[in-house]
Structure 1
Amino acid sequence: MAAAIVGIVIDGTKSIAANALVITPLGETWFALSPGSLNALQAGIQRHISPYLWDPVLQWVLMLPNWAVIGGLGFLIVWLTTAKTRTADKLPA
């Protein structure tokens, strides 16, 4: 969740500086941080799983704003890890 907030702040700063809306795609950020791992993921998925999974599905995900994808994953992790706590709180004593 913190990484998503950092992504929002970075895009907001770029937008203010450019005087226009700037949204950084996840794929661009990933390529800037670790191009080898992104290329290895692409090759692995196309060879071992399906080339159709890479082209329409994962390329679409990589074009989404980085903060949206990272924030969504963070929200999902928080929701999954707190689901047990919420269920336990509702049980009668």
Structure 2
Amino acid sequence: MIRSLLRLIGVIALAAGFILLMYDGAKSIADSRVYIYKLGQLWTDIHAASLQAAQARVQANLPAQVWDPGITTILDQPAWLIFGVVGTIFILLGRRRKPLIGYAR
């Protein structure tokens, strides 16, 4: 049950990453320049108040180095890349384990 849920989340994240990659490509072709939709901009466009609340919570509870160089680096990456990496990790976590050869159970 957990493996199928992890694979489902992974496939949804990979699909979102692919959609965002196609969006970047279509917008880049239309504008005749390279356009990269960053994760921070995506989060701001979806719900800016939650990004500000997350920033305030992280800065209040964790050391200052966590938000400024840590999380802002992730938020400055292309959204399709982050969704692709997260989706790949979830799919790998949800895969079946290979049977051990030569071991009796």
Matched, 1:81 2:89: no
- CA drift at 1:31: 0.3
The equivalent residue for 1:48 is 61
- Runs of 4+ aligned structure 1 residues displaced above 6 Å come to none
Is there any run of 5+ residues in structure 1 with no aligned partner, and where? none
The equivalent residue for 2:73 is 60
Supply the AA of the counterpart residue of 1:51.
Answer: A
- CA drift at 1:21: 1.0
SS of 1:56's equivalent in the other structure is helix
SS of 2:86's equivalent in the other structure is helix
SS of 1:34's equivalent in the other structure is helix
**TM-score, with structure 1 as normaliser:** 0.89
Question: Aligned partners of 1:91, 1:11: CA distance in 2, in Å?
Answer: 45
Matched, 1:9 2:12: no
Task: Work out which structure has the larger RCO, using CA pairs closer than 8 Å and 6 or more positions apart in sequence.
Answer: 2
Q: Which has the higher helix share?
A: 1
Question: Aligned partners of 2:30, 2:94: CA distance in 1, in Å?
Answer: 38
How many residue pairs match? The answer is 90
Question: Aligned partners of 1:29, 1:8: CA distance in 2, in Å?
Answer: 13
SS of 2:35's equivalent in the other structure is coil
Cα RMSD (Å)? 1.4
- CA drift at 1:52: 1.1
Is there any run of 5+ residues in structure 2 with no aligned partner, and where? 1-13
Supply the AA of the counterpart residue of 1:26.
Answer: L
Question: Aligned partners of 1:37, 1:49: CA distance in 2, in Å?
Answer: 17
* Match among 28, 32, 35 for residue 48 of structure 2: 35
**TM-score, with structure 2 as normaliser:** 0.80
Quickly say closer, same or farther: Cα 1:91–1:36, change in 2 above 3 A. farther
- Identity rate of aligned residues, in percent? 32
